C-alpha cells in the first residue's frame, strides 16, 4: 500500500468518494428515489482510478499542501501511462458489482452516455490486457478502508479482479446473454436505471468538488395566493388590451380543468392534458403540477419542453408562480453582473450555473 491519494487539491480521495455517495443519497431521497447497496458501492468506487501516481502528481501542482504529501504519491514510473481515471474505476466496479449499468455510468461520468453498440464494443470487445494494465498503475492505500467495501483492503486492485476468461465471460453474459434486447419495456427500464444513477453520480460528484458541503435545496414552496394573484394580473392586462372576452374564455377553461384535475388525480400516475392553442396550457399545466405536488407531497416540479424557443416564455410563467426556477438550456450565458448582485464569489457561482444539481424546486 502507499500513502494518501487526493481527489482534488487538499481533499482526500476516500473523503470525496464517501461524500459523493452521501450527496447522491440525499438527492435521491429528496425526490423519492432509493439506492441499492450495489448502487451505493458503485458510487464509492467511481473515482478510485485517481489513486494513480500521474494523477496525484498533477494535483500537487495546484495543492497548497503538496509539501506534506508522501513523495511516493507523486512518482510516476515511465511504464505507468495515465489515460484517465474513469475506465479503471469502471472496471473495478464491474468486478465488484457485476452490473454493467453501474459500471457504464462510472465509465462515462465525465462524458456523454453511449449507445448500446458502443457499450458492447468497449466491454465485450475490449482487450483484457488493457484493463489489467490500467489497474496495475492504481495503488491501494490504508484510507480505502473507510469505504467499508472489503473486510481487508486489497494490497493490489488485481487481487480480486477476474481472470481473463472469467472477465470475458462476465462482460459477454451481461451484454449479450442477459440483455433483454427483445423486450422493449425491460430495455426501457435499464435505460432509465442508467440515466438515474448517471445523473445522481455526476451531480453528486461535481457538487462535492464545487461546493464541498452537504447538498441542500430550498424545497418546493406552493403559495395558492401567489398563483391566484398572477391569474388576476393576467385578467387585468387582458382587459387593458381589450381582450376581456379571451380572458374570460381562458379563465373558464382554467377553472374547469383544475376542477377536473382535482377529481381525477386521486393517486400519482400519468395524466394528459389536451387543449387548443391559446387556451393557456402553460399556466394550466404548471398549476395542475402544483396541485399534484401538494396533494402527493412532491418535492419538485420538472417541466420538459420539446423546443428551446419555448423555454424562456414558460420559465417566465413558472417564475411568477413559484419564484425560484432553474432553466437548463441557457445557464452558460448567465449574466456575470447578475451573479455579482448575489455573491462576491463570482467564479464559483458561474461554475455552479453551468450544471444541473437538482437543488432548484422547479
d(CA 238, CA 98): 61
| 361 is a domain residue | no
pLDDT at 241 over 90: no
> Is 183 found in the same domain as 248?
no
Per residue in 247-267, pLDDT tens? Answer: 788 888 888 988 999 999 999
- Using alpha carbons, select from 269, 293, 281 the residue that is nearest to residue 362: 293
Task: Determine, yes or no, domain membership for 332.
Answer: yes
Reported as a pLDDT band with limits 50, 70 and 90, residue 147 is very high
Let me know whether 180 and 260 are in one domain: no
User: Using CA atoms, how far apart are residues 35 and 26, in angstroms rounded to an integer?
Assistant: 10
CB 124 within 8 A of CB 172: yes
In the predicted model, what is the mean pLDDT of residues 193-199? 93
Q: Which of 158, 175, 210 is the last residue of a domain?
A: 210
Note whether residue 328 is domain-resident. Answer: yes
Q: What is the pLDDT of residues 78-133, one digit of tens each?
A: 456 677 899 999 999 999 999 999 999 999 999 889 999 999 999 999 999 999 99
pLDDT in tens, 3-40: 688 898 888 999 999 999 999 999 999 888 899 999 99
Q: Are residues 200 and 307 in the same domain?
A: no
- Indicate the number of domains in the chain: 2
At residue 353, does pLDDT exceed 70?
no
Tell me what pLDDT residue 67 has.
Answer: 63
Question: How many Å is the Cα radius of gyration of the chain?
Answer: 25
Q: List, in sequence order, the alpha helices (H) in the chain.
A: 13-30, 37-45, 53-60, 86-97, 100-107, 116-123, 128-136, 164-172, 184-210, 224-240, 244-264, 281-295, 311-322, 336-342, 346-352
Q: How does pLDDT run across 266-298, given as a tens digit for each residue?
A: 999 899 888 888 888 888 888 899 889 889 988
| Assigned domain for 360 exists | no
Considering the domain architecture, whether residues 158 and 116 belong to the same structural domain is answered as yes
pLDDT at 210: 82
Q: How confident is the model at residue 330 (pLDDT cuts 50, 70, 90)?
A: very low
Same domain as 181, residue 41: yes
Residues in the chain: 362
Q: Which domain holds residue 137?
A: 6-210
DSSP letter for each residue of 188-223: HHHHHHHHHHHHHHHHHHHHHHHT-S----------
What pLDDT, on the 0 to 100 scale, is given for residue 22?
A: 96
Same domain, 263 and 329: yes
Cell numbers found for residue 162: 477476474
d(CA 104, CA 86): 10
Q: For 296-312, what is the mean pLDDT?
A: 81
Residue 79's pLDDT is: 54
Would residue 284 count as lying in a domain? yes
pLDDT band at 314, cuts 50/70/90?
Answer: confident
Are residues 105 and 206 located together in one domain of the fold? yes
In the predicted model, what is the mean pLDDT of the chain? 84
Look up the CATH number of the domain holding residue 175: 1.10.3210
What cell was used for 318? 413558472
Q: Is residue 358 part of a domain?
A: no
Q: Does 239 lie in the same domain as 170?
A: no
Does residue 28 lie in a domain region?
yes
In a domain, 1, yes or no: no
Domain end call among 210, 239, 272: 210
159 and 265 co-located in one domain: no
Residues 126 and 14 in one domain: yes
- Which of 183, 210, 237 marks a domain boundary? 210
* Rounded Cα–Cα distance for residues 249 and 42 (Å): 54
Same domain for 187 and 228, yes or no, is no
Amino acid at each position: 500500500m502507499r500513502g494518501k491519494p487526493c481527489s482534488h487539491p487538499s481533499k482526500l480521495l476516500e473523503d470525496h468518494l464517501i461524500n459523493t455517495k452521501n450527496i447522491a443519497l440525499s438527492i435521491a431521497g429528496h425526490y423519492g428515489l432509493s439506492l441499492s447497496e450495489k448502487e451505493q458501492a458503485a458510487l464509492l468506487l467511481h473515482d478510485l482510478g485517481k489513486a494513480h501516481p500521474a494523477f496525484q502528481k498533477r494535483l500537487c501542482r495546484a495543492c497548497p499542501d503538496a509539501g506534506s504529501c508522501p513523495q511516493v504519491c507523486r512518482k510516476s514510473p515511465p511504464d505507468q501511462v495515465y489515460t484517465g481515471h474513469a475506465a479503471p474505476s469502471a472496471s473495478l466496479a464491474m468486478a465488484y458489482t457485476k452490473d454493467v449499468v453501474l459500471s457504464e455510468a462510472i465509465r462515462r461520468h465525465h462524458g456523454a452516455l453511449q449507445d448500446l453498440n458502443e457499450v458492447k464494443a468497449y466491454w465485450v470487445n475490449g482487450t483484457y490486457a488493457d484493463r489489467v494494465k490500467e489497474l496495475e498503475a492504481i495503488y491501494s492505500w490504508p484510507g480505502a478502508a473507510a469505504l467499508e467495501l472489503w473486510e481487508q483492503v486489497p494490497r493490489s486492485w488485481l487481487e480480486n479482479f477476474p481472470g481473463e476468461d472469467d472477465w470475458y465471460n462476465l462482460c459477454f453474459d451481461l451484454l449479450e446473454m442477459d440483455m433483454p434486447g427483445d423486450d422493449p419495456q425491460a430495455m426501457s427500464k435499464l435505460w432509465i436505471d442508467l440515466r438515474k444513477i448517471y445523473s445522481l453520480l455526476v451531480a453528486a460528484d461535481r457538487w462535492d468538488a464545487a461546493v464541498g458541503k452537504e447538498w441542500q435545496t430550498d424545497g418546493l414552496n406552493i403559495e395558492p395566493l401567489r398563483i391566484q394573484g398572477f391569474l388576476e394580473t393576467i385578467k387585468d392586462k387582458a382587459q387593458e388590451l381589450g381582450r376581456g372576452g379571451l380572458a374570460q374564455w381562458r379563465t373558464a377553461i382554467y377553472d374547469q380543468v383544475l376542477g377536473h384535475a382535482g377529481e381525477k388525480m386521486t393517486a400519482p400516475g400519468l395524466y394528459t392534458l389536451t387543449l387548443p392553442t391559446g387556451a393557456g396550457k402553460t399556466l394550466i399545466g404548471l398549476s395542475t403540477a402544483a396541485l399534484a405536488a401538494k396533494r402527493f407531497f412532491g418535492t419538485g416540479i420538472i417541466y420538459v419542453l420539446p423546443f428551446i424557443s419555448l423555454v424562456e416564455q414558460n420559465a417566465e410563467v413558472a417564475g411568477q408562480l413559484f419564484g425560484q426556477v432553474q432553466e437548463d438550456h441557457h445557464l452558460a450565458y448567465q449574466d456575470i453582473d447578475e451573479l455579482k448582485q448575489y455573491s462576491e464569489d463570482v467564479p464559483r457561482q458561474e461554475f455552479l450555473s453551468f450544471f444541473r444539481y437538482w437543488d432548484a424546486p422547479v
